[in-house]
Amino acid sequence: MPSSQVAVLAGLGSWLPPRVVGNEEIAQRLDTSDEWIRSRTGIAERRVVDPGTSTVDLAVEAGRRALTSAGETEADAVVLATSTADQLCPASAPQVATKLGLNGVAAFDVNAVCSGFVYGLATGAGLIAAGVARRVLVIGADAFTSLVDPEDRGTVPIFGDGAGAVLLRAGDPDELGALGPFDLHSEGELAELLWVEAGGAKNRRSDDPRDHYLVMQGQTVFRHACARMAESARAVVGAAGWAVGDIDRFIGHQANIRILQTCAKQLGLAEDVMYSNIEKVGNTSAASIPIALADAAKEGALQPGHRVVMGAFGAGLTWGSTLLRWPDVIPG
């Protein structure tokens, strides 16, 4: 394979579980209100999995739609970005691949929490550039509400469940849809700002059930999210030889509408360049960006040739960006 092969976005799909949980339903059982949630986050409702539905189920639905969108039935590898794998061990990607009929292909999870999809794209692009695979299905899927303490008004309103996926194929750097460059970062010293303390190898079982749920220092996370997403967008745009003003559409991680607005201000971007679907889905973690891509494409907010930046931020801390000129894809 020629060394100039890059990853090209060839298919796109998303899937949301059917159960809608509106702000009023949350306000009936926690000390909060529709007004507070809307004004502080921009979220009106989110989707939540029913018992028995898992991350693998969400990922399979989105993955199938991305394959159909690309007109493909095969892929050489499945990269699943998630921090809510069905089991602590093994990874969920092999189960997703099998359920999609992709028997025997390379399949593994990438865990960079809410930045996972951009990390997954970089991984998929790397497999293609190295000649390991010609078609990589990159899925971002999270049943993130499984990590949320049902009694915590600080996190319950924010998170939702869902999945989105793209099929990457080997192609030419000049094509519409060619991905890259990438800008990826982490800061492990700040892990405690947003984490689930127990359940892993360090503290398998805690007597305090709250240790098994997500704990978040919201305001500090907010500040880091704005600054890091803006910084990374500048870096990736510079590496591509674009100017910030060239960006037609910024598809950022949907964590909070005010984070996207602040990020736009920091970048000097018009607010309408920032796409947002957070009102309907909340923060779906690794699924956030591909669901936003699919919604934006369906609404006509992404047009072939548009210069698009994807910007992510998440627990870890992790953050990163990539970009592409939008291809002619019809999302499934």
Q: Would you tell me which residues interact with ligand COA (CB under 6 A)?
A: 32, 36, 40-41, 114, 153-154, 157, 216, 218-219, 221-222, 225, 255-256, 283, 313-314
* Structure token pair of residue 264: 């736009």
**CB closer to ligand COA, 226 vs 323:** 226
Phi and psi dihedrals of 39, rounded to 5?
-75, -30
Contact 120, 98 (CB under 8 A): no
Give the closest residue to 123 by CA, choosing from 174, 71, 82.
Answer: 82
**Shortest-Cβ-distance residue relative to ligand COA:** 218
Alpha helices in the chain (DSSP H): 23-27, 34-41, 55-70, 93-99, 116-129, 218-240, 257-267, 278-281, 288-299
Minimum distance of ligand COA from residue 318's CB (angstroms): 9
Is 283 tagged catalytic? yes
**CB closer to ligand COA, 61 vs 142:** 142
Element (H, E) at 142: strand 135-142
Minimum distance of ligand COA from residue 139's CB (angstroms): 18
Residue of 226, 253, 256, 277 with catalytic role: 253
Is 253 tagged catalytic? yes
**CB closer to ligand COA, 213 vs 313:** 313
**CB closer to ligand COA, 290 vs 332:** 290
DSSP state string for 40-66 = HH--SEEE-PPTT--HHHHHHHHHHHH
Minimum distance of ligand COA from residue 320's CB (angstroms): 13
CA 232 distance to own-chain centroid: 16
Phi and psi dihedrals of 276, rounded to 5?
-145, 135
- The CA-based angle 7-127-304, given to 5 degrees, is 15
Residue of 114, 256, 263, 277 with catalytic role: 114
Tokens 């969400």 correspond to what residue?
A: 58
Minimum distance of ligand COA from residue 48's CB (angstroms): 16
Residue of 23, 111, 256, 283 with catalytic role: 283
* Cα four-point dihedral sign 35, 20, 225, 152: positive
Minimum distance of ligand COA from residue 254's CB (angstroms): 9
**CB closer to ligand COA, 95 vs 321:** 321
Q: 11: which strand partners? A: 167
Minimum distance of ligand COA from residue 51's CB (angstroms): 24
**CB closer to ligand COA, 69 vs 284:** 284
Catalytic site positions: 114, 253, 283
